[in-house]
Amino acid sequence: MKRIIIDTDPGVDDAQAIMMAVAHPDAQVEAITVVGGNVGLQHTVANACTILDVLGADIPVYAGCGRALVLDGEDAASIHGADGLGEAGFPPSSREVEKEHAAAALVRMANEAPGEISLIAIGPLTNLAVALQLDPDLPRKFKELVIMGGTISARGNTSYISAEFNIAADPEAAHIVFSRWPRLTMISWETTLAHYFPLDTRDKWIALGTPQSVFYEKITNRLITFVRQVLKRGTLVSADGLAMAVLLEPDIVQQAAQHHVSVELTGTYTRGQTTVDWQDRTGLPANVRVVLEADVSRFVELLGMGMGS
């Protein structure tokens, strides 16, 4: 049984990732630590509670950092809606959030079970950076770290052009994590784009009529309009879902590369860009396992598992 902590900024695809993890028979979600990102912390914490209510899951939620370490970045409300869950109008959850700060909770749980818990970060890395400041030995106390974030060929999705959202939201935090974590697994934005599935897959999930699929339909209605009308695309991606699939079933990875990755902190168009030393010119040790290709069919099956299929 894989013990997991999910650090997240829910978010539509964050919801998918959480649903996958809770549904997987070989995973046990120990905690949800929440960071501001896709939308503000007030919404992301509320969304984590709403998602767990839908799943009927008794998992503690810890609120963390609502702002970047240095400069506040942009949000993703244009994609996820002002509330982060597609503006579907869910009533407030009555679930109580833990009083302990998310960063402190990460340190505590890692020290209580050293080497036993896997950590996945599918939002800005602010909580992790603060936790590293509190306990510099944190990397050896977690079993592994998987992140959704970064670019591998400068194809970004933010106003910084070559930077991916989660990293661009707090580049200083990302710099701390990448420079101090000896080895992490990274699922980039370009890898996400390469692992798409058709829109009619969503229709099949919705037809299941489960609480999870009904919830998914509500939170994605706005997104589907954006995909069809603005992107003019007939496919969907799930960045956080792909990262979760890699964590849950590592054998899903079909191609990966080990290289040194750094985070750019300046530049009009490059702040927050992750730079992969593809030819190992710096001589610096590899600190990242860069996932390049995964089994798409199994990935979609795992997404469907999260829908109750």
Give burial (CB, 10 Å; 0-12/13-18/19+) of 234: exposed
The CA radius of gyration of the chain, in Å to the nearest whole number, is 18
* 6 SS3 class: strand
- Report the CATH number that the domain containing residue 93 is assigned in CATH: 3.90.245.10
Q: Alpha-carbon distance 183 to 41, whole Å?
A: 28
**Closest to 54 in 3D by CA, of 219, 181, 252, 195:** 219
The mean pLDDT of the chain is: 96
The token duo for 255 is: 């191609």
Digit-coded pLDDT (tens) for 225-264:
888 888 888 999 999 999 999 999 999 999 999 999 999 9
What pTM, to 2 d.p., does this model score? 0.97
The answer to whether the beta carbons of residues 70 and 77 sit under 8 Å apart is no
The count of domains in the chain is 1
C-beta of residue 17 within 8 angstroms of C-beta of residue 53: no
Tens digit of each residue's pLDDT (9 = 90 or more) over 261-287? 999 999 999 999 999 999 999 999 999
Q: Which two tokens stand for residue 183?
A: 């080895």
Q: Which residues in the chain land under pLDDT 50?
A: none
**Residues forming a β-bridge with 142:** none
* DSSP string for 161-214: SS--HHHHT-HHHHHHHHHH-S-EEEE-HHHHHHS-EEHHHHHHHHTT--HHHH
**Enclosing domain of residue 54:** 2-306
